[in-house]
Amino acid sequence: MLGNVASPTTGVEAPALKFGPKVRLLVLFLLAAGAVTLFMTIGSNGNWDFIIPFRGRKIVSMVAVGFAIAASTILFQTITDNRILTPSIMGFDALYMLIQTVIVFSVGTVQLVQINARMLFLFEVLAMSAFAGALYWMLFIQSDRSLHLVVFVGIIFGVLFRSLTSLLQRMIDPTEFAVLQDIGFASFNTVNRELLALASAVIFVVLLVIWRMNRVLDALLLGRELSVNIGVEYRRDVMIVLTMVTILVSVSTALVGPITFFGLLVAHLAYQTIGSSYHRYTIPAAALYSVILLVGGQMILERVFNFNSSLSIMIDFAGGLLFIMLLLREGRKR
Amino acid sequence: MIVVQNLTKRYGETAVVDDVSLTIQKGGITSLIGPNGAGKSTLLSMMSRLMQPDAGTVEIDGMNVFSTPSDTLAKRIAILRQQNYFEARLTIEDLVTFGRYPYCKGRPTIKDREHVEQALEYLELTSLRHRFLNELSGGQRQRAFVAMVLCQDTDYILLDEPLNSLDMRHSIAMMQQLRRVVTDFGKTVVIVLHDINFASWYSDQIVAMREGKLIYHAGPEVVITPQALLELYDVDVHVETIRGKSVGVYYGGANEMQVQQTQDIRDRLAAQLGRS
Amino acid sequence: MAIANTLQAADMNQVRMNRRLIYSVVGVFVLAVISVFLGVYSFSIRDLVRGDADVHASMVLLVSRIPRTVAIVLIGASTSITGMMMQMLARNRFVSPTTAGTVESASLGILIITLFAPGAPIGIKIIVASLTALLGTGIFLAILRSIPLRSPLVVPLIGIMLGGVVSSVTSFFAYRYDLLQSLSTWTNGDFSRVLRGRYEMLWLSGALALVAYFAADRFTVAGMGEAFTTNLGLNYRRVMVLGLTIVSIVTAVNVVTVGAIPFLGLIVPNVVSAMLGDNVRRTAPWIAVTGAGFLLMCDIAGRAIRYPYEIPIGTVVGVVGGIIFLFLLLRSSSRVG
């Protein structure tokens, strides 16, 4: 990127960046690789036959979900031109909980765990994607409303779904409720093996699609009017991006449950430290931060706190708080 | 050539652009003037496919603006509207380089970089190239956006009140640069202007609108006249010829309708007082 | 002549509006009566009037039914008025205790006091919840000041985000201390908990709503910004703090007593302003009456639909309010996004 080179001939004031985005990405990659290695090897006692598949699966799920959350948040923020929103506020997790609750309500938790995991997974992903797709289509394509309105409508549906969920939950026996609650809160420990392979494949494909359109994404940073001016097929491309975002959020929610604010945290860490607004740097940076925080966080949880689940509640909680602080700090700088 | 036919845009009951038809010939500067709410910005948006009309067509060099793929159009026309703000942190150089997007799709070649250099120099932005947009003054930002548009190297350039944040010196420089690209490169510029005198001084043709309708499409000598300006703005404008151009002096001009209303009220009061 | 005619017409209009307001109040009263008598325990009105009714009947009436109905009216009116006030202060149609993080912050306060002092009297709970609500709303305003707001929709989106963050914090601690199911019962608005002796604080809400009505002009001015306010001789900071404090206390009282009722402060002022305009002096009584009436209707529906079971008010309003709000957002005449 030209922006990093001082120009002696014109006496240009060179930017303060000491290291370009590529170097920074490398540093992040090394940190992430280090975290993963540590996770795999710490306290292992040489028991490799067990450790590699067991911990390896956790790593794969954290990497897959981490990438999905990071990418979907950054994409969503680019197309809404707003760095405070996250795609998961649009009621995906509410729909997810509603589906789970309806199942528990109608057939009980025993039946829930007996349903073919893959079928349930696909059903949930499809339901969430269909809901979101219908929403976008009606508002964005058919009647040309702003994206903020689409998000808002999504949120209201989220409240609707949540109301219905809490209604059903009141009618569920407390022990069933406890099981439901645990499903509601994500756990990287209990990710189903078959699901993981399927989910990872889906995420990988979506990330490929995103990678191919990374320059278009950069153009979308300019907002609707300027990007149309330079020849972007705005509605088509935004629909594609929204679809990718929806799939990523649905897959990660179905895999490990709702994680709402973690994406915000890693997105802002990326924006503030990678030194570029271009997606070829910000998305990988956010993805690497995800891996570092998730793997590191899980290690701390297991070794220091002896929790055995709910990394994501902690992450959400920490992510939410840190995010507010970041926001206020950013605001003070302006 | 830009051919607009029966273009209409309605918000609720009101027609913001009301059945407008006009043809803008290739080459030269055409200004779009008129009072607030005349529909100038809306017309410009529709002409550049940024907004869908309720009726009518627009063709640029024979291409239907609403059905031609956006990136084909992007090499032919460039549009810059008034409010341009986005969250992302970009430098001036980043922004101007986006002007080459229709050609390089985000991977600029050496030739593209040359265009960027030229555009930066044209708008006196070379020393600011690495500054972030949100750190600049309004005028500097405006020049950066115009540099992007020039970099896009299109035959047609549509600008919506580009002089708004600019001081005197930069306003004149901008208009002179626009005249230069017209003369040197044969470009066609359509520009919405607030100030009738800038319009008069620099345009070849003026399109005047009022309440959604096209009122005049002619040279400055026809539009910048007391009768026409009264019809457009409801203001008495005294017009002088300076260096062969019509210049309007409207600062002290009384609004004819206001004068009449004041007189009416005086008459009624007098009548009532006379009665009681 | 023309002026006199206009004045006369305005007077007539005002009289007509006042008459309509009185009809509405009567309507609300009728709804209230229905609400009092709706329920599993059946009353004989004749017995009541004659004073012959058995002790049990009058106890149910006095301890449960009448307090419940009074609670509904007070909460409906006070939430709607505070919603109106927040919209004036932020100059944005979509701001309300639900979309500014206020409700979620109050819930966090309830959790905190429950963890540290579960037996604390209701007054203490309200104080703690008010403080957290004030803090949360303050953070919301600080965030608003520090980012560019290019569309009116961005403001409530930010409030919802903030509310989400706060509730994820709350959920985390609730999960840690096994209070999740309790949390969900506190936070979902439910009038069946209202009993005599446990709802009286709501009168405070009502009183504060009245204060808000009388100070409405100040809030309108403050909404126009610090410079404008100072120019007119008002102390901007004081007015804002007053406004925020009223909102926080009313929200805290309502949430502690009954739980959260989504959308109420959002839709009632918007519906009234769509029909009557934005003159606060004129519309405030309407907003209070409409809020009370709407909540009464939702409550009656919640109890009648699956009689004898009751659907909590939070759920009913979540569904009805959500639909109304969607309608408000999407009607083409609003063109808000």
- What CATH number is given to the structural domain containing C117? 1.10.3470.10
Tally of structural domains, chain C: 1
**Residue B84 pLDDT level (bands cut at 50, 70, 90):** confident
Q: Would A137 be classed as within a structural domain? A: yes
Nearest to A157 by CA among A137, A184, A132, A125: A132
Long-range Cβ contacts of A200-204 (<8 Å, 24+ apart): A200/A60, A200/A64, A202/A125, A202/A247, A202/A251, A203/A64, A203/A67, A203/A68, A203/A248, A203/A251, A203/A252
Name the least confident of A51-65, B203-217, C62-76, C186-200.
C186-200
What's the rounded Cα separation, in Å, for the pair A79 and A245? 11
The pLDDT of residue A198: 86
Q: Name chain C contacts of A177, Cβ cutoff 8 Å.
A: 181
Closest residue of chain A to C315, computed from CA coordinates: A163
Residues 6 or more apart from B86 whose CB is under 8 A from it?
Answer: A81, A221, A222, A223, A226
**Residue A332 pLDDT level (bands cut at 50, 70, 90):** low
ipTM of the complex, rounded to two decimals = 0.86
**Interval B21-26 mean pLDDT:** 95
- C135 interfaces chain A, CB cutoff of 8 Å: no
Chains in touch with A (≥3 Cβ pairs < 8 A): B, C
Name the least confident of A213-227, B237-251, C32-46.
C32-46
Largest CA distance in chain C: 75
Tokens of C335: 């063109």
Name the least confident of B141-150, B212-221, C22-31, C201-210.
C22-31
- C113 interfaces chain A, CB cutoff of 8 Å: no
Q: Would A141 be classed as within a structural domain? A: yes
What count of other Cβ atoms lies within 10 Å of the Cβ of residue B100?
25
**Each residue's pLDDT tens digit, C74-132:** 999 999 999 999 988 888 888 999 899 999 999 999 999 988 888 888 888 899 999 99
**Each residue's pLDDT tens digit, A226-279:** 999 999 999 889 988 988 998 898 888 878 777 778 888 899 899 989 989 999
Higher pLDDT, A80 or A3: A80
**Each residue's pLDDT tens digit, A113-162:** 667 777 777 887 888 888 877 877 776 666 666 777 777 788 888 888 88
Name residue, tokens 């509730």.
C167
Amino acid identity at A105: F
Across the interface, of C145, C185, C311, the residue whose CB is closest to A331 is C145
Contact B129 A12 (CB under 8 A): yes
Contact C335 B85 (CB under 8 A): no
- C298 interfaces chain A, CB cutoff of 8 Å: no
Residue C277: CA count within 13 A, CB half-sphere: 4
Closest residue of chain A to B135, computed from CA coordinates: A334
- C97 interfaces chain A, CB cutoff of 8 Å: no
- Chain A and chain B share a number of CB contacts under 8 A equal to 92
Among B106-115, C178-187, C301-310, the range with the most confident prediction by mean pLDDT is B106-115
Higher pLDDT, A265 or B104: B104
Tally of structural domains, chain A: 1
Residues 6 or more apart from A35 whose CB is under 8 A from it?
Answer: A291, A292, A295, A296, A299
The pLDDT of residue A3: 34
Q: Which domain holds residue A157?
A: 21-39+57-328
H/E stretch holding C316 = helix C313-330
- A216 interfaces chain B, CB cutoff of 8 Å: yes
Contact A15 B130 (CB under 8 A): yes
Higher pLDDT, B212 or A190: B212
The pLDDT of residue B186: 92
Q: Name chain B contacts of C335, Cβ cutoff 8 Å.
A: 11
**Interval B32-52 mean pLDDT:** 93
Q: Would A72 be classed as within a structural domain? A: yes
- Chain B and chain C share a number of CB contacts under 8 A equal to 4
Higher pLDDT, A329 or C302: C302
- Among A171, A313, A322, A328, the strongest candidate for a mutation testing the C interface, having the largest count of C CBs within 10 A, is A313
CA distance A7 to chain C (A): 33
The pLDDT of residue B222: 93
Residues 6 or more apart from C317 whose CB is under 8 A from it?
Answer: C189, C261, C262, C263, C264, C295, C298
Question: In whole numbers, what is the pLDDT of chain B averaged over residues?
Answer: 91
Name the least confident of B37-46, C35-44, C117-126, C171-180.
C35-44
The pLDDT of residue C120: 82
What's the rounded Cα separation, in Å, for the pair B56 and B6? 5
- Among C3, C146, C147, C150, the strongest candidate for a mutation testing the B interface, having the largest count of B CBs within 10 A, is C150
**Interval B90-105 mean pLDDT:** 95
**Interval C281-299 mean pLDDT:** 89
Q: Which domain holds residue C273?
A: 2-336
The pLDDT of residue C322: 84
CA distance C183 to chain B (A): 37
Q: Would A248 be classed as within a structural domain? A: yes
What's the rounded Cα separation, in Å, for the pair B159 and C58? 77
Amino acid identity at B204: D
Q: Would A223 be classed as within a structural domain? A: yes
**Each residue's pLDDT tens digit, A41-91:** 887 777 778 878 888 888 898 899 999 999 999 999 999 888 878 887 777
Helix axes A48-80, A193-212, angle to 10 degrees: 40
Cα angle: A99, vertex A104, A110; to 5 degrees? 130
Across the interface, of B11, B12, B85, the residue whose CB is closest to C150 is B85
Contact A228 B80 (CB under 8 A): no
**Interval B127-150 mean pLDDT:** 92
Question: Rounded to whole angstroms, what are the CA distances from B252 to A142, B236, B249, B258?
Answer: 50, 9, 8, 14
* C258 touches C224 (CB < 8 A): no
Q: Would A279 be classed as within a structural domain? A: yes
Question: In whole numbers, what is the pLDDT of chain C averaged over residues?
Answer: 82
Contact C180 A84 (CB under 8 A): no
Residues 6 or more apart from B104 whose CB is under 8 A from it?
Answer: B112
Q: What is the dihedral of CA A101, A106, A109, A111, to 10 degrees?
A: -130
Contact B85 C148 (CB under 8 A): yes
Q: Name chain B contacts of C333, Cβ cutoff 8 Å.
A: 12
The pLDDT of residue A190: 66
**Residue A14 pLDDT level (bands cut at 50, 70, 90):** very low
- A103 interfaces chain C, CB cutoff of 8 Å: no
The pLDDT of residue A141: 64
* C55 touches C64 (CB < 8 A): no
* C250 touches C85 (CB < 8 A): no
Contact A11 B127 (CB under 8 A): yes
- What CATH number is given to the structural domain containing A159? 1.10.3470.10
- C171 interfaces chain A, CB cutoff of 8 Å: yes
Question: In whole numbers, what is the pLDDT of chain A averaged over residues?
Answer: 80
Question: Rounded to whole angstroms, what are the CA distances from C187 to B154, C79, C125, C311?
Answer: 59, 16, 14, 14
Nearest to A66 by CA among A254, A248, A328: A248
Question: Rounded to whole angstroms, what are the CA distances from B207 to B40, B60, B186, B224, B228?
Answer: 9, 17, 20, 11, 12
